[in-house]
């Protein structure tokens, strides 16, 4: 018995033995850690996904999502994993969530933080302008946000002739909306008829367009044309942009002290004697 104990002590005290035991211990720890990570990565977790296709600016209801099981490693960090954190949120501007898609953080917002893309995109120093259109003036609903357009003007000159010219050039369309203020192209499941296009302009041009809008008795009409396009004007008098600006200003007036306000019908009546 003593021989066995002595042999065991010598075995344990042997440096090679200690090294071998240490190696096995380290390998065991590494294997355990690796195995734990693999199991954690492949073990299924429940993730909310869209039960239906969800369009932009829609409040998410409980029936719009369902839970599915996925390997944890397949779920990105920016995915919302809690059903309660999704229901009651709104889909962000221009964010379509396809059926079966996970809910990413950047597509969900609170209602009071839901921006209107038309106003978010207005450049510094400009103000948004709502320009009246219809299905025909938008070329069969073919003017989209991001397109560049020119604004042409038609009016009667002093001799009763029709004059046509380009009033504004290279204007970027920020939004196309219907009569209820909804974005025409944000919902792929609904057909919406355009009634307004929105773009940003400087204050001087804003007042100019407002004035022109009240000059119906002068036969003034404003209409959009895709930038670079040409219009048929056979028999009409083509005039310059500056001529049109001078024509508008000569036939309207903004009352003193109201230069920075949106003009009314009374503000824009022509001066007597003009």
Q: Does 20 have pLDDT greater than 90?
A: no
pLDDT for 188 beyond 70: yes
Asked if residue 149 and residue 52 are part of one domain, the reply reads no
Does 262 score more than 60 pLDDT?
no
pLDDT band at 67 (very low <50, low <70, confident <90, very high): very high
Whether residue 135 is predicted with pLDDT greater than 90 in this model: the reply is yes
Which pLDDT value is given to residue 142? 92
Position 105 in a domain: yes
Domain span including residue 67? 44-113
Instruction: Please give the share of the chain, as a percent, with pLDDT higher than 90.
Output: 39
**What value does the mean pLDDT take over residues 138-153?**
92
Question: Mean pLDDT, the chain, as a whole number?
Answer: 80
Yes or no: say if 92 and 109 are a contact pair by the CB < 8 Å rule. Answer: yes
Average pLDDT over residues 232-260: 72
Burial 233-258 (b: 16+ CB within 10 A, else e): eeeeeebeeeebbebbeebbbbeeee
CATH number, domain containing residue 102: 3.90.1210.10
User: Is 7 inside a domain boundary?
Assistant: no
Extract the tokens encoding 27: 């390998």
In a domain, 24, yes or no: no
Q: How many structural domains is the chain composed of?
A: 2
pLDDT, tens digit, 9 for 90 and up, residues 153-185: 999 877 778 889 999 999 999 999 999 888 888
Which one has a higher pLDDT value, 244 or 3? 244
Q: Are 40 and 63 in contact (CB under 8 A)?
A: no
Query: In this predicted structure, which of 99-108, 135-144, 197-206, 251-260 has the lowest mean pLDDT?
Result: 251-260
Do 134 and 179 sit in the same domain of this protein?
A: yes
């Amino acid at each position: 018995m003593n021989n066995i104990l002595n042999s065991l002590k010598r075995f344990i005290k042997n440096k090679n033995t200690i090294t071998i035991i240490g190696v096995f211990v380290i390998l065991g720890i590494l294997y355990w850690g690796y195995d734990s990570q693999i199991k954690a990565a492949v073990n299924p977790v429940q993730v909310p996904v869209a039960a239906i296709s969800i369009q932009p600016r829609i409040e998410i209801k409980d029936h719009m999502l369902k839970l599915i099981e996925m390997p944890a490693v397949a779920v990105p960090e920016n995915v919302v994993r809690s059903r309660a954190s999704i229901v009651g949120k709104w889909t962000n501007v221009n964010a379509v969530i396809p059926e079966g898609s996970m809910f990413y953080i950047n597509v969900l917002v609170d209602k009071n933080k839901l921006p209107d893309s038309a106003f978010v995109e207005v450049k510094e120093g400009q103000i948004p302008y709502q320009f009246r259109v219809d299905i025909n003036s938008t070329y069969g609903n073919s003017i989209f946000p991001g397109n560049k357009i020119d604004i042409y003007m038609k009016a009667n000159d002093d001799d009763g002739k029709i004059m046509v010219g380009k009033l504004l050039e290279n204007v970027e369309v920020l939004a196309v909306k219907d009569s209820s203020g909804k974005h025409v192209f944000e919902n792929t499941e609904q057909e919406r008829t355009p009634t307004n296009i929105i773009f940003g302009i400087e204050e001087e041009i804003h007042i100019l367009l407002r004035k022109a809008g009240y000059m119906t008795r002068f036969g003034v009409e404003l209409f959009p044309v895709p930038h670079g396009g040409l219009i048929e004007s056979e028999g009409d008098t083509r005039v310059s942009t500056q001529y049109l600006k001078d024509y508008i200003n000569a036939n309207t007036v903004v009352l003193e002290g109201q230069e920075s306000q949106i003009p009314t019908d009374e503000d824009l009546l022509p001066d007597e004697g003009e």
